[in-house]
Structure 1
Amino acid sequence: MRTDARRNVEALLEAAKTVFSAAGVDAPAKEITDLAGVGVGTLYRHFPQRSDLIKAVIEREIDACADAAPALAAAHEPGIALARWLDRFTAFVATKRGFAAALHSGDPAFDGLPGYLMQKLGPALESLLEAATASGEIQTRISAQDLLYAVAKLCAPMPNEDPDYGRRMVALLVDGLRSGESPH
């Protein structure tokens, strides 16, 4: 891909991420292209279907979340690195207005995303879990897959709760993972 085309794709993905977070995945294409500083034709040349754009934004966010694990592990104690990564994953899950509905729409463009998420985030989280367990900072009874699913469930919108509710619930989960007396 040419440099200018790659730059346009990155601008579109960043703009779509921002617009989707604020207005949902059904936001007008013009809003995305205006924010990206490109024409609508450029959007459709790179992402012929809205599902192509949604999928690309989700994959990009998954990749960024996975890539954060080694940097957090290098910069922090294992328990803190795990907690910060889970906070980042929580923000990813909680701020994607309309993504869940789109993913469950039956559109075949999204069929591979759950597997992609587990393929990328599973190993990233597993490395953080192993380090935190080895350091004695957390209990050993949870798998990366179970923890990813738990965070996703805790981030489901709740009626009459503020948007930060999911983050507070994940913080409780992380506190519960910390070592101490384990129940029988």
Structure 2
Amino acid sequence: MPRSIDLEPYKAEIISLFQNNTTSADIASHLQRSHRLQVRERTIKARLRSWGVSKRNRTATSNPQLHTRISELFLNQGLEERELLQVLQSEGFQISSRTLRRIRTQLGLVRRTDDPVQRQMQEDEALKYLREESKKGTLKGYGRGLLTSHIRGQGIIIARDRLFNLYRTIPRGSTSP
């Protein structure tokens, strides 16, 4: 039967080493040298798990200020993924590109979709807005970039090229519905 090693007296030291990016193998070696304790790397990993210690920063996924800021930057400023990440990190949010992508998807902030129903809804909403604005003359002379920024500022999310293709189908100065 495997013997159980009591690591509780060394818990604070192990956690501290782990959080300072020391590997489990190095922690096991340290315990051997410092305390003459024979511990395997696997035991260290298991104990850290049981203590609930992880290197992952899970606060990003539950931070409402971060979620609000992502929505603002995505919708109002139309920033791309790379730009979003740079702005958020410069504002002090600790977030990885993978976490940003996951949060954005959870918030429904996607530009492309494979779902034909959702895709059609995006196009219908964009087309309705484009027709209204075309009647007013607001969008006259807009290119892809400016048009995309403008429409995302209105909270309408659609891929840039799909949006521009819709825009080109609308007769200029049209009053048709």
Tell me whether the two structures share a fold, i.e. TM-score over 0.5. Answer: no
Structure holding more helix per residue: 1
The normalised TM-score by structure 1 is 0.29
The normalised TM-score by structure 2 is 0.30
Instruction: State the structure with bigger RCO (CA 8 A, min sep 6), 1 or 2.
Output: 1
